[in-house]
Amino acid sequence: MNPLSDFWKKKNPGRPPAAPRDAAPAAAPDPATEQPPASPRWHSYDYEPPATVFVGVPKLGEVEALAGTRAGRPALAAAVVLAVTAGLWWSNERFDAETGVGESRTMRLADGSQLQLDTDTAVDIEVGGRERRVGLARGGIYVETTSVAPRPLLIDASIGQVRVHDGALSVRRDRDGSVAVAVERGEAEVVGTALDEPAVLRAGDVLRFDRRVHSGVRHEEAPRALAWRQGELQFENEALGRVMDEVRRYDRRLWYGPVGVVAETRLSTVVAFDHIDDWLDTLPQTLPLDIVRVGPVVWARERGAPAARPAEALR
C-alpha cells in the first residue's frame, strides 16, 4: 500500500488522488469521434427560441413581428420586463416624495398645506421659516395652501414657477418639459420662459406652456384638468393619439399607440383608471382599430393595415 495514497483517501473521502507528475498526459480528443455539447433545452416549450436580440424597449416593428407568433410572445414579454427592470435599476435619482405609475399619494406639509401626487411624480419639498417651496421634477401635483403662512408657496417646474398663497391648484410637468397649471380656487401667479410677463390665473383657468410658446389663459377648463383626482380622465374633442398617450401614464404596461390617420381621429370620452381595459374594448366598436394585448404590451393597431413580415420588422 502507498502511504501517501492512504493519507489522501482519509483527508479527501470520495475524491480520487491526483495523477503522479510523471504520468503520461491524457490523449487529445479525436475531432472525428468527439460529441458536441448538448444544446440547452427550453423548459416546457416545444419550439426553438426566436433569433431576436432586443436592446432596450422593443420597437413597434419588433412587436408587430413577434406578437402574432407563438415563439415570439415569451421573448417579447421577457424583453419588456427586462427593459423596465433595467430602467428602475439604473435610476439613481432620489426625491423627497415619489409615486410610481398608477399610484397617487397625499401628504400634509409642515405649514398645513395639502399636497397630492399624481401618477409617476417626483418632488422635492422645502417648507421652513424662510421658504415654502415644492420642486416638481416630473409628473403632476395638486396643492391646497392655507392663508396662515406668511409668504406664498412657490412651485418650481424648471421652465416656470407658480406662486400661490391661499388657493388650490394643480401643476403638471411632462417629460418633454412642458408645464400645465389649472386653478381650482383662489389665484396664482405664473412666470415662465414663454411668457412675456407674469400671468395671473383665477378659479377655473388653465395655462399650458413650454420654453417658447404658450396656450394663453383658457377659462372654465380646470375641472377637466383636475379630473384625475377623482380617478378618471376627461377628454373633449381630442385626437385619439393624444388620448392614448395620456391614458398610458396610468397603466404599468408598455403601450404602442396608433399612427397615421386613425391617430388624428377626434373623440370625447371619459376613462376611469380602474376600467382602462374596458375602455380599450370599446374603441374597436366605433373606430377602425384593433387592440392587441400580449403580456405586458398593449398595441393599438389600425384595422386593415398590412402587417410587417418578421424579417423586415426586425432589421
Q: Say which range, 140-149, 214-223, 306-315, has the weakest mean pLDDT.
A: 306-315
Residue ending a domain, among 174, 193, 223, is 223
Give phi and psi for 304, each to the nearest 5: 90, -5
Look at residue 117 and tell me whether its pLDDT is greater than 80: yes
Residues 238 and 217 in one domain: no
Place of cell 391646497: 144
CA distance 141 to 136: 8
Residues 137 and 188 in one domain: yes
Is residue 41, in this structure, part of any structural domain at all?
Answer: no
Look at residue 125 and tell me whether its pLDDT is greater than 90: yes
CA distance 178 to 242: 15
CATH number assigned to the domain comprising residue 264: 3.55.50.30
Query: Which three three-digit cell numbers place residue 79?
Result: 424583453
Q: How confident is the model at residue 62 (pLDDT cuts 50, 70, 90)?
A: low
Question: Which residues have a Cβ under 8 Å from the Cβ of 231 and sit 6 or more positions away?
Answer: 272, 273, 274
Give phi and psi for 154, each to the nearest 5: -100, 125
Residue ending a domain, among 173, 203, 223, is 223
Q: Provide the pLDDT for residue 69.
A: 58
The count of C-alpha atoms lying within 13 angstroms of the C-alpha of 70, restricted to the half-sphere facing its C-beta, is 4
CA distance 173 to 253: 21
CA distance 139 to 205: 20
Look at residue 81 and tell me whether its pLDDT is greater than 70: no
**Integer CA distances (angstroms), 297 to 49, 50, 55, 73, 80, in order:** 19, 18, 17, 10, 8
What's the domain count of the chain? 3
Is residue 105, in this structure, part of any structural domain at all?
Answer: yes
The pLDDT tens digits for 34-54 are 444 433 333 333 333 344 333
Mapped onto helix, strand or coil, the DSSP state of residue 54 is: coil
0.85 surpassed by pTM: no
Q: Say which range, 3-17, 150-164, 215-229, 251-265, has the weakest mean pLDDT.
A: 3-17
pLDDT above 70 as % of the chain: 67
CA distance 65 to 298: 14
